Amino acid sequence: MSAVERDDRQSRERHWQEARDRLDGLPAGGLNIAYEAVDRHVVHGDGDTLAFRFLGEDGPPEDITYRQLSERTSRFANLLADLAVPAGSLVFTLSGRNPDLYVAMLGALKACCGVSPLFSAFGPEPVRQRMAAGHGRVLVTTASAYRQKVAPVRDQLPDLEHVLVIGAGADTLDAPGVHDLAALMERSSKDYEIPRTDPEDIAFVHFTSGTTGMPKGAVHVHAACVAHSATGRSVLDLQRGDIYWCTADPGWVTGTSYGLVAPLTCGVTCIVDEAEFDAVRWYGILEDEHVSVWYTAPTALRMLMKAGPAAHEGSDLGGVRHVCSVGEPLNPEVVLWGQRELGLDIHDTWWQTETGAIMIANVPGLQIRPGSMGRPVAGIEIALMQRDAGGERLRDAEGRLVPVAGFGDEGEIAIRTPWPSLMRAYLGAPDRYASCFADGWYLSGDLARRDEDGYVWFVGRGDDVIKSAGHLIGPFEVESVLMEHPAVAEAGVIGVPDPTVGELVKAFVELKGGFAPSEDLRRDLIALGRRRLGAAVAPRSIEFAAHLPLTQSGKIMRRVLKARELGLLEGDLSTLGSTP
């Protein structure tokens, strides 16, 4: 290691140590996210500050102070103890955005259980798949989600002992281990002392999709909150007194890392909207709730753009101080629209489930270059690694990764390890985990370029994973469900470009002998997708093909399907991809 490299490493270590020193640590020793996010503020005399304001679909908002949040999360932690759920167990959540969901997540962290949030728009199959892979013991959900998504697959979830049901009607669910959450909370004590928590203890498992196989459970630990609080300050510019709105759902990593952990560790007030997107409603929230910091996504911004100026006519967005975006490429048009129409600079940020926290960003004060994701944040070093013509990582004679030669060259984003929020494992998949690292770098799979001033420009993903409305979708998961249909011989799933949501899920289907393409069959397949996978993951369109292009080893060549879709290739699909 050169002297410069050693200095750089020391300065990164110092940065993270300073960020850690700004947190309190547990009275009992160690570091626990729920203590840093909640109880600490009560200890420091800020118990009356609002932690959350929940905006229901209708009716008055529900406000929760840090003190009330501390008590409610303690009740939840005690409730887990009463049910004899041991530390280290995984608690899954499956619910829309409501107070009980956030209380359960933080309460489980207090009890040193891991939390795995599931997206409420998942169907029974993604839910079953993830809960089985995580050996979930506890599930916090609503009565309707239980009935529709869990009851049908409950017999395939042998580890699931307790189902804690949010909202009225739990008693109408007659199934083993089903409890009425409100009744248990009522009986449980509001006093709880968080036990000593090792910073390396499991805190969250976020399932994320890859190109092949089923989703991977990225394991995150309590130490991650060092990076969340630091980037909450340095990137989101969160300061005391801020009213902050993160529009992401906690079923995805942004909604927990930056919808829960980062803002609460910074002691600000979080707005949570329980309703779905509506342009007029959103402008109303920004103005009426006096939102000062807003973290949202390109799809939402493009939907606001599409709604036109009438949707914000008369709104005063002057209270909004800082706006950030994440999850998919933020096209320059959106940045320019924000400046022109809203008078706001939109600051793009880049990170992944695996990195746990923001890695590249347009931090406050950095001159925005529309279309660029910004520069690596403090404490983070990146490099761009070359790939060969076949898309494989290039190695030198000693087998080491090769950084790109010059500015403007395309390469895979690699991040120097370690940093506090880096995932610590993929659940039960050590080989897949190991394959994300080489030579002291984490390899992201994303391709980018860098200019002379260190700004990073996103080029694309290096794999077949689909990003639709900011949500990652694994093509294999979708293909597997389509293959369940008796008429389907092969299925290949890709993302087709869409001006609003980035990509739409499209399936190419080859039928078995004796079946012919028809409108009825197409509808049947779409319905199967929606029923089993849920609206967030199901294919939007189906194209029948006589033969799908396969590699010699029998794998679907999704790239060929994509090239065909984009008009880059013409002709019969069966002859396009087949290798001789």
The amino acid that residue 565 corresponds to is E
Kindly report the number of other CB atoms within 10 A of residue 10's CB atom. Answer: 10
DSSP of 179-212: EEHHHHHHHS-S---PPPB-TTSEEEEEEE--SS
Q: Residue 359 Cβ, how far from ligand 6R9 at the closest point, in Å? A: 9
Among 237, 412, 446, 490, binds ligand 6R9 (CB under 6 A): 446
Q: Are 551 and 557 in contact, with CB atoms under 8 Å apart? A: yes
- Contact flags string 205-244 toward ligand 6R9, x per CB under 6 A: ---x------------------------------------
95/296 with CB nearer ligand 6R9: 296
Establish if 442 lies at the interface with ligand 6R9 (CB under 6 A).
no
Residue 15 to residue 46: CA distance in whole angstroms:
27
Q: Are 502 and 478 in contact, with CB atoms under 8 Å apart? A: no
Residue 111 to residue 222: CA distance in whole angstroms:
12
72/228 with CB nearer ligand 6R9: 228
Kindly report the number of other CB atoms within 10 A of residue 521's CB atom. Answer: 18
Tokens of 429: 């998949």
Establish if 327 lies at the interface with ligand 6R9 (CB under 6 A).
yes
Tokens of 387: 């790939």
Q: Are 346 and 301 in contact, with CB atoms under 8 Å apart? A: yes
* DSSP 8-state symbol, 364: T
Please say whether the dihedral angle defined by the alpha carbons of residues 198, 204, 209 and 215, taken in this order, is positive or negative.
positive
Please say whether the dihedral angle defined by the alpha carbons of residues 261, 263, 264 and 270, taken in this order, is positive or negative.
negative
Establish if 455 lies at the interface with ligand 6R9 (CB under 6 A).
no
89/352 with CB nearer ligand 6R9: 352
Q: Which stretch binds ligand 6R9 (CB under 6 A): 46-54, 156-164, 249-257, 546-554?
A: 249-257
Sequence-distant (≥ 6) Cβ neighbours of residue 483 within 8 angstroms: 490, 491
Establish if 412 lies at the interface with ligand 6R9 (CB under 6 A).
no
Establish if 503 lies at the interface with ligand 6R9 (CB under 6 A).
no
Establish if 119 lies at the interface with ligand 6R9 (CB under 6 A).
no
Sequence-distant (≥ 6) Cβ neighbours of residue 340 within 8 angstroms: none
Establish if 464 lies at the interface with ligand 6R9 (CB under 6 A).
no
327/411 with CB nearer ligand 6R9: 327
Q: Which stretch binds ligand 6R9 (CB under 6 A): 92-100, 250-258, 533-541, 560-568?
A: 250-258
Query: How many residues of this chain interact with ligand 6R9, rule: CB under 6 A?
Result: 22
Establish if 256 lies at the interface with ligand 6R9 (CB under 6 A).
no
Phi, psi at 311, each rounded to 5°: -65, -25
Establish if 423 lies at the interface with ligand 6R9 (CB under 6 A).
no
Q: Residue 523 Cβ, how far from ligand 6R9 at the closest point, in Å? A: 30
Name the packing angle between helices 66-82 and 99-110 (round to 10°).
60
206/312 with CB nearer ligand 6R9: 206
Count Cα neighbours of 345 within 13 Å in the Cβ-side half-sphere: 15
Establish if 467 lies at the interface with ligand 6R9 (CB under 6 A).
yes
118/373 with CB nearer ligand 6R9: 373
Among 69, 311, 472, 548, binds ligand 6R9 (CB under 6 A): 472
- Contact flags string 345-384 toward ligand 6R9, x per CB under 6 A: ---xxxxxx-------------------x-----------
Establish if 328 lies at the interface with ligand 6R9 (CB under 6 A).
yes
Q: CA dist 565 to 47, 162, 506, Å?
A: 56, 46, 10
Q: Residue 247 Cβ, how far from ligand 6R9 at the closest point, in Å? A: 13
Residue 389 to residue 423: CA distance in whole angstroms:
30
252/433 with CB nearer ligand 6R9: 252
Report the interface residues with ligand 6R9, using CB under 6 A.
208, 252-254, 326-330, 348-353, 373, 444, 446, 458, 461, 467, 472
